[in-house]
Structure 1
Amino acid sequence: MPSLLITRPLPEKVVAAAEARFDVTLRSENTPLSKAEMTAALAEYDAVLPTLGDAFSADVYPDEVRCRILANFGVGFNHIDVAAARAAGLEVTNTPGAVTDATADIAMTLILMTCRRAGEGERMVRAGKWPGWNPTQLLGMHVSGKTLGVVGMGRIGKAIALRAQAGFGMRVVFHNRSKVAEAGVEAEQLERLEDVMAAADVVVLAVPATPQTHHLIDAAALSAMRPESYLVNIARGDIVDEAALIAALQKGEIAGAGLDVYEFEPKVPEALRAMENVTLLPHLGTSALEVREQMGLMAVDNLIAFFDGKPVPNPVCPPLGSDTI
């Protein structure tokens, strides 16, 4: 029976499924693996089921690598140096699909909370500072009928666009690095990122974290937005130059922001925490029991297929043995 390290506590259903097929070691801590722990895991286990924060960089690999697969819990795998894993002969998988709807729901949550100033209102009530209803209190932006700009029209981007258009009658424009033949909704693909930033009342980021998307939203991109527009990030924190975002908010260059992820997570700058026009969530994108169970079971399915000698259902690109760049 192959040995498996699960790096964080997972839902009971997932652990039970893993234990049915593997000799499981379940780490009890909810913190990322240390460098020493990662090196030891690669030397001591046949497989590792890591997740966000477990930074499997090129310098953690021991001279003798026993591990044969990293079955990532999550769709994003920017914490794993895939090239280094490939060089060591490891397969790398992830869990796309299971996270799509839940992440899109959080995007809509952030859009509504930020544009309608719900976070401000909730804090006011909790602090005992609500003086009662009045006609000009906490006037926000009416979302219905506005223009949504989606940066990254993949599974999640399409799911957000569908919710925005079907539920709120929003016009959708988007930017994607390749041509999107079918967006799933009536939407206009714009060639330049700046055009989407300028056209949208709300910009939602739904691109993966890659070297190419690091600081994709920088000072120049933010300057293309209008003073009455909002930025929402449900992707990965380092897609946004956080210092540039803080500057844009402080200068009033954009109206507000809704964030579920942060550049140096879990560190959130005091400047962001102090702003009333910024909604801050603790990376809740997939935080629903059914979703986390689906993610975990998908990771286990990847592991089972691998050790049964079958193609894994969800290899990260490029698959093991491919020379695709």
Structure 2
Amino acid sequence: MKPKIYVTRKLPDVIISYLSNECEVRMWDKEDEPVPPEILAEEIEEVDGLLCLLTETIDERLLGKGRNLKVVSNMAVGYNNIDIQAAKSKGVQVTNTPGVLTETTADLTFGLLIATARRFEESINYVKEGKWKTWSPMGLTGQDIFGATLGIIGMGDIGEAVASRAKGFKMNVLYHNRKRKIAAEETLGAAYRELDDLLTESDFVVVLTPYTPQTHDLISYKELALMKPTSILINTSRGGIVNEEALYQALLEKKIYAAGLDVFEQEPVSLTHPLLQLPNVTALPHIGSASVTTRMKMAKLAAFNLLEALQHRTPPNLVVTV
């Protein structure tokens, strides 16, 4: 008898066909709408495996309903949507999809940095709203990127990929990380700084650290107040790492120049969110890995991880082992 799995979002047919060769597949059939928690709770009762997204909260209560559940395959690098300790205690393996999205997310991060620094969103609206009447000497001026100092918080694979891109702009690269990355210092010319020093020296601060209890509100008002009034904050990691109330206040008080955000603490972000009311905030809908090629790689890897676990082999991307 084939193992039963549940897929929490509509995936491309090629992925479902791949899974169907080995499993009995049930799937939430809406691409742009998350599965309701009550339906997920019903589905998980009978399945051996779950392929989910960051939009699903896989907590202890839900895991407790999975009588036959053996593996949760998260189609993401992060896994803060899953109660890891509860999964381990219940003997459920957890996997993720690292590596395949590094370059795409680095592209998006650097693109958001450029868009925020040069005020792309404001300029696009300026044209579309018919406000472009003449050339103004200081109209819609932003901040230079070439030769500026970039501070990276979290020098993992994506951080190193962003640093590599920055070298093409002759940027001075600083970084803060739990551990020194000597190889990155040698190959990328990056210099280690304590967090406060990085914030003080950088023209651009890019947040790329994983979200953990230790990094929650890592960047709050005290940290933002250390930054230059001409500096720009970019967050393409997780929303909870930057305190949004503090960021709003710092932008209002012109403690920093602007912010580019691909992530928010609550997603999707509310249209009434204070940060969305500010002209110097460039906001994106969590699209760091959103290229066709990369999302397909993520889906294939999530499916592969799931099947390996169900076939009693060791998945290549284990977060929780049992």
1:163 alignment partner in structure 2: 165
Deviation per residue, 1:176-211 (Å, 9 max, x gap) = 012213224110011x21111111100000011111
Counting only pairs closer than 5 Å after superposition, residues 199-214 of structure 1 correspond to structure 2 as 199-214=201-216
Worse-superposed segment, 168-177 or 64-73: 64-73
1:8 alignment partner in structure 2: 9
Deviation per residue, 1:35-63 (Å, 9 max, x gap) = 33333233111100010120011222335
Give me the whole-angstrom Cα distance separating, in 1, the residues matched to 2:43 and 2:199.
Answer: 43
**TM superposition outliers: structure 1 runs of 4+ over 6 Å:** none
Deviation per residue, 1:237-263 (Å, 9 max, x gap) = 111110000000000000000000011
Deviation per residue, 1:206-236 (Å, 9 max, x gap) = 0111111111111111111111100000001
2:277 alignment partner in structure 1: 274
1:258 alignment partner in structure 2: 260
Counting only pairs closer than 5 Å after superposition, residues 71-90 of structure 1 correspond to structure 2 as 71-90=73-92
Deviation per residue, 1:264-298 (Å, 9 max, x gap) = 11124532112111101111111111111000111
Secondary structure at the aligned position of 2:174 is classed as strand
Worse-superposed segment, 198-207 or 3-12: 3-12
Match 1:288 to one of 287, 291, 297: 291
Q: Tell me, yes or no, if the aligned pair for 1:32 and 1:54 is still in contact at 8 Å.
A: yes
1:302 alignment partner in structure 2: 305
Q: Tell me, yes or no, if the aligned pair for 2:47 and 2:66 is still in contact at 8 Å.
A: no
Give me the whole-angstrom Cα distance separating, in 1, the residues matched to 2:261 and 2:121.
Answer: 12
Match 1:139 to one of 138, 141, 163: 141
Gaps of 5+ in 1: none
Q: Per-residue deviation at 1:15?
A: 2.1
Give me the whole-angstrom Cα distance separating, in 2, the residues matched to 1:56 and 1:193.
Answer: 32
Q: Tell me, yes or no, if the aligned pair for 2:44 and 2:65 is still in contact at 8 Å.
A: no
Counting only pairs closer than 5 Å after superposition, residues 73-112 of structure 1 correspond to structure 2 as 73-112=75-114
Secondary structure at the aligned position of 1:112 is classed as helix
Q: Per-residue deviation at 1:310?
A: 1.6
Opposite residue 66 of structure 1, the aligned amino acid is N
Give me the whole-angstrom Cα distance separating, in 2, the residues matched to 1:216 and 1:19.
Answer: 43
1:175 alignment partner in structure 2: 176
User: Are 1:19 and 2:20 matched, yes or no?
Assistant: yes
How many residues align? The count is 317
Give identity over the alignment, percent.
37
Opposite residue 109 of structure 1, the aligned amino acid is G
Give me the whole-angstrom Cα distance separating, in 1, the residues matched to 2:245 and 2:151.
Answer: 22
Q: Tell me, yes or no, if the aligned pair for 2:57 and 2:81 is still in contact at 8 Å.
A: yes
Give me the whole-angstrom Cα distance separating, in 2, the residues matched to 1:287 and 1:115.
Answer: 22
Give me the whole-angstrom Cα distance separating, in 1, the residues matched to 2:306 and 2:63.
Answer: 20
Opposite residue 305 of structure 1, the aligned amino acid is E
Q: Tell me, yes or no, if the aligned pair for 1:13 and 1:293 is still in contact at 8 Å.
A: no
- 1:64 to 1:92, Cα distance in 2 relative to 1, 3 A: closer
User: Are 1:226 and 2:228 matched, yes or no?
Assistant: yes
Match 1:116 to one of 112, 115, 118: 118
Gaps of 5+ in 2: none
Give the structure-1-normalised TM-score: 0.94
Q: Tell me, yes or no, if the aligned pair for 1:50 and 1:71 is still in contact at 8 Å.
A: yes
